[in-house]
Amino acid sequence: MPDYKPNQFVRAFAVMALIAAFILVVVVVATSGGGSGDGDNNGGAHKAKVSKAGALALRKGVWIVHLGDTLGAISVKTGIDESTLQALNPDLDPQTLREGQRIALR
């Protein structure tokens, strides 16, 4: 049986691959934030981004869900944080929005 000689190249490559995987995980976690993540909770900066449909919904105080709407998209269109929308609608499940469903905005 031949003597076992470890391959130094394979060992170095394994260490570099482990470091690269760790860096990749850190980058993905750091860039995949939920919510705004910018710490701006005053809402003033978001008012300029309100769409026409969002402005109309804000006047009425209710958003009617359209096909393909997500809570994040509704948040962007109305300028209201997702956490605020969930607080105003405690029985709302963001994963199961239905077309025609009403979401309170105030």
Query: Which domains does the chain possess?
Result: 48-104 (3.10.350.10)
Average pLDDT per consecutive 10 residues, the chain (106 residues; last block may be shorter): 76 92 89 57 50 79 87 88 90 88 88
Q: How many CA atoms lie within 13 A of 3 on its CB side?
A: 1
Q: According to the model, what pLDDT value does residue 38 have?
A: 47
Task: Give, in order, the Cα–Cα distances in Å from 93 to each of 31, 37, 86, 97.
Answer: 25, 21, 8, 7
Q: According to the model, what pLDDT value does residue 33 have?
A: 66
